[in-house]
Amino acid sequence: MSLADVLAGVIVVALNCYVLLGGADYGGGVWDLFASGARKGRQRELIAHAIGPVWEANHVWVILVVVLLFTCFPLAFARLGTTLHIPLTLLLVGVVLRGSAFTFRSYGGEGEQERHWGRVFAVASLVTPILLGVIVGAVASGGVHAPRTADQTFWSTYVQPWLTPFAFSVGLFALACFAFLAAVYLTVEARDDAVREDFRWRALVAGVLVFVTAAVALLFARIGAPRVWAGLLAAPWAIPLHLLTAAAAIGALTALWSRRWRAARIAAAAQVSLILWGWALAQFPYMIPPDLTIAAVAAPAVTLELVAGALGLGAVVLFPSLYYLFKIFKSAASAAS
Amino acid sequence: MPDLLAARSQMALSLAFHIIFAMVGIAMPLLMVVAERRWRRTGDPVFLDLAKRWARGTAILFAVGAVSGTVLSFELGLLWPRFMAFAGPIIGMPFSLEGFAFFTEAIFLGIYLYGWDRVSPRAHLAAGVLVAVSGAASGVFVVIANAWMNTPTGFTLTEGRAVGVDPLAAMANPAALSQTIHMTLAAYAATGFAVAGIHAFLLRRDPGNAFHRRALTIALLVGAPAAVLQPLSGDLASRQVAVYQPAKLAAMEALFVTRAGAPLTVGGWPDMARRETRFGLEVPYGLSLLAFHDPRAEVRGLDSVPRDEWPNVPLVHLAFQVMVALGSYLAVVALWAGWLAWKRRDPAKHRALLTAITIATPFGFLASECGWMVTELGRQPWVITGVLKTADAVTPMPGLVVPFTLFTLLYCFLGVIVAWLLYRQIIRSPHA
Ligand code: HDD
Ligand code: HEM
Ligand code: HEM
């Protein structure tokens, strides 16, 4: 395994962190949109309370992904930015609206205004994960190919790669995963049992939706993403990975059913991470199928070595700081306060 | 609108928008930390109130800074894929380091904003200090990347490809030191004077208000020294530009003809057809003195650069003049305030000074926007000086006017909202 492979792995790790942390923040927004029943206000309060102190830090993971991508795999970054210009631009609009609306709601106004910003925040939280999934789906499908010079049209170069049933099925799947993660985490963070039960039900429903959307995506993968399909079925690691994922999924749902909240949180996180790694392994050694392998797009060795060194040093600072942040705001004691 | 123009406009808009929030993100934490420390030392609740209010404003601005910065990092690929394919391996290093600075900043800002009664007083203050330090560090890293675009080093160009890449040598490029110093000072000067200006305005209406007096003092404590140092660091920057970016210097100074003992032209309008600068005030030997610290030194004019490699001379010259004018005003006001403080006279009671500070409220930010126009427009037509032309770096994607329009609307909308939210924070200021 080369240094480039390792760094590609680090990018997947960063993406994994973004999905588990940032993804759950999006999911929180989705549940804000679907807040309902007698405890509507308290549900929203819990969501805002859970996201407030950590969303900026959670958001930085995606920046790390982008920065590592353009430093270590510049040609892949250039290809993505060119071919997926449209969904990436829409994704950015979603990111901007969500982040600023959340802050405006917390610091801005009360009453009418707070409601407006809450709505913007919630809708952006619903749309942005779908776009993220569409982008991942487009990459996995092998549609992000080099612009063909012969029969090139705007449609075939900039729209077709991502406007596919498979990419959109991955989008819905991502949304379901994020909503599921958020609901499971919120059962741990809830401060009263009634609200906790609300999120338990939501988590169970979302868990079922994860299954449904995964099945749909898999169905489309057969034609839409043959490489992923083949990888997920034929590779030697495929069966163990499927078994593990299934175990995590069933574990998460049974833990929710039997109200073992912390176990459910671990199992849900494991389930979503395994799915992500399944995708990454299925397209290895390609960074952007069908033509760009990790080795082909890697930066010169010096750059990779320096970045690896910086990552090592950075991790020494980063992980204790993150631990401290989460300890302050996510420990049982603070949940009780 | 041609695609290249749309791409440039979108990049310029995004950066010009982001830089305001970035500068606030660098300097505001310092103001908050000073206020909090004063509160811990004196027990005066006004300082605590101040720290908390500033923290609220910073939270809003920081969030907009974070999302607009995210837009920028994607835009490098969306608009300039060929630039990134070339430059990524060479200059990605400071961006990666910047990533870690962002992490530190975001983590400890979360602790600072939400942790007033969750962590010990010491830990809280330390979190504020970490936010201030990592904010400044992230600004320094990204400006190093920009300095490399101006004076690229750390690779050799062979048949259009970079070989012998050395990312550390790229970070140590000739413009890095002067640009990072100048930018960091700009953040403190601009933010310090903007905050001071707002409180000076309110003090003129309500002279005895303890809240605004303390706020004014702290803001000047941060802003005034930076404003005094800024012309000195600008001189450092000019001398670097004179040596490494002669076309930019010639455009800044509207110097059409290469000559020894060149005069400094103050004001004036570069007449492109006649290739001379009209209506300007000439200071004999001034430019040679400033650029090379030698009245007889030869300064290269635009005639030393092929015509198709000239930047937009009138714009660059104008932007430079405005920056220097605003910078001089800020420095004079800062010295005046310092003089009064030295004489043990209360600046908050000095109406003329308060008026001068109020006028200066937007000046630091305006000067910075002008400074960036000088740097970026003055580099044209190159995106990497002498290496890659902007026109060759742009994405092949057509119809770029659509995203440009989209982001223009989005940023106008956000700008209005932010201004309104901050205004509400201010009109609700306490009447202690
Ligand atoms: C508060 C803001 C502020 C103030 C008062 C000044 N500047 Fe400035 N200037 C900037 C804010 C700025 C900036 C926005 O921060 C720039 C853009 C790029 C950079 O590194 O700093 C800049 C760039 C910049 C450059 C171009 C550097 C390059 O392209 O490499 C020069 C030559 C100067 N400045 C010179 C001056 C002088 C002689 C000033 C005398 C008063 C001055 N600046 C005041
Ligand atoms: C925040 C302050 C900055 C402002 C206001 C600014 C302004 C601009 C402007 C006006 C342009 C368009 C050039 C033109 O129209 O001719 C531009 C382009 C560009 N800038 Fe900057 N810039 C800033 C900082 C940076 C930094 C820190 C980078 C770091 C890499 C950067 C990278 C670029 C790139 C890649 C382009 C496109 C190519 C070009 O036109 O040169 N800029 N910027
Ligand atoms: C000279 C120009 C720039 C300076 C001084 C600067 C500085 C900063 C600072 C201090 C922040 C922290 C957030 C805040 O305080 O609001 C920030 C945020 C950010 N900047 Fe910039 N920046 C500049 C230009 C750029 C450019 C060209 C990029 C794109 C590559 C960029 C990418 C980002 C990103 C991704 C964030 C969000 C980080 C977070 O979530 O905390 N910045 N910038």
| Helix/strand/coil (H/E/C) assignment for every residue in B247-309 | HHHHHHHCCCCCEECCCEEECCEEECCCCEEECCEEECCHHHHHHHCCCCCEECCHHHCCHHH
**The predicted structure's pLDDT at residue B429:** 63
More confident residue, B272 or A93: A93
Q: Pick the residue of B70, B417, B421 with the most A CBs within 10 A to test the interface with A by mutation.
A: B70
**Residue pairs spanning A and B at CB distance below 8 A:** 205
Residue A137 to residue A134: CA distance in whole angstroms: 5
Segment B46-87, tens digit of pLDDT = 999 899 889 888 888 888 999 999 999 999 999 999 999 999
Does B423 reach chain A within 8 Å, measured CB to CB?
no
| Ligand lying nearest the CA atom of residue B145 | 2
Region B373-400: what's the mean pLDDT? 92
**If you measure CA to CA, which chain B residue comes closest to A330?**
B118
Ligand 2: residues with CB < 6 A are: B 8, 11-12, 15-16, 19, 80, 83, 142-143, 145-146, 149, 372-373, 376-377, 379-380, 383, 390
From the list A57, A97, A107, which residue is nearest B106 (CB)? A57
Distance CA A25, CA A124 (A): 12
- Which of B3, B58, B67 has the most A C-beta neighbours within 10 Å, making it the best mutation to test the interface with A? B67
Decide if B414 and A100 are in contact by the 8 Å CB cutoff: yes
Q: Is the pLDDT of residue A336 over 60?
A: no
Q: What is the structure's pLDDT at B148?
A: 96
Opening angle at CA A60, ends B412 and A306, nearest 5: 120
Note whether B81 contacts A311, CB cutoff 8 Å.
no
Name the band, by pLDDT with cuts 50, 70 and 90, for residue A248. very high
Residues composing chain B? 432
Q: Examine the pLDDT at A111 and tell me if it is beyond 70.
A: no
pLDDT attached to residue A179: 94
Check pLDDT > 90 for residue B238.
yes
Contacts of B103 in chain A (CB under 8 A): 57, 60, 64, 314, 318, 321-322
Element (H, E) at A103: helix A85-107
pTM: 0.91
Q: Above 50 in pLDDT, residue A337?
A: no
Q: Which residue CA neighbors atom 6 of ligand 1 most closely?
A: B327
Categorize the per-residue pLDDT at B243 as very low, low, confident or very high, splitting at 50, 70 and 90.
Answer: very high
Lowest mean pLDDT, pick from A54-68, B148-162, B270-284, B386-400? B270-284
The amino acid that residue B397 corresponds to is M
From chain B residues 44-63, the ones with a CB under 8 A of any chain A CB are 56, 59-60, 62-63
Task: For residue A199, give every residue at least 6 positions away whose Cβ sits within 8 Å of its Cβ, in sequence order, or none.
Answer: A31, A43, A183, A184, A186, A187, A190
Distance to chain A for B168, nearest Cα, Å:
9
**Peptide bond connecting A290 to the previous residue in cis, omega within 30 degrees of 0:** yes
Q: Is the pLDDT of residue B15 over 60?
A: yes
What pLDDT is attached to residue A335?
A: 45
pLDDT the model gives residue B299: 92
The pLDDT tens digits of the residues spanning A36-48 come to 888 888 888 888 8
User: pLDDT per residue over A262-278, tens digit each?
Assistant: 999 999 999 999 999 98
Q: Is the pLDDT of residue A333 over 70?
A: no
Q: What is the mean pLDDT of residues A183-195?
A: 89
On whether any CB of chain A is under 8 Å from the CB of B412, the answer is: no
Q: Which of residues 132 through 161 in chain B touch A, CB cutoff 8 A? A: none
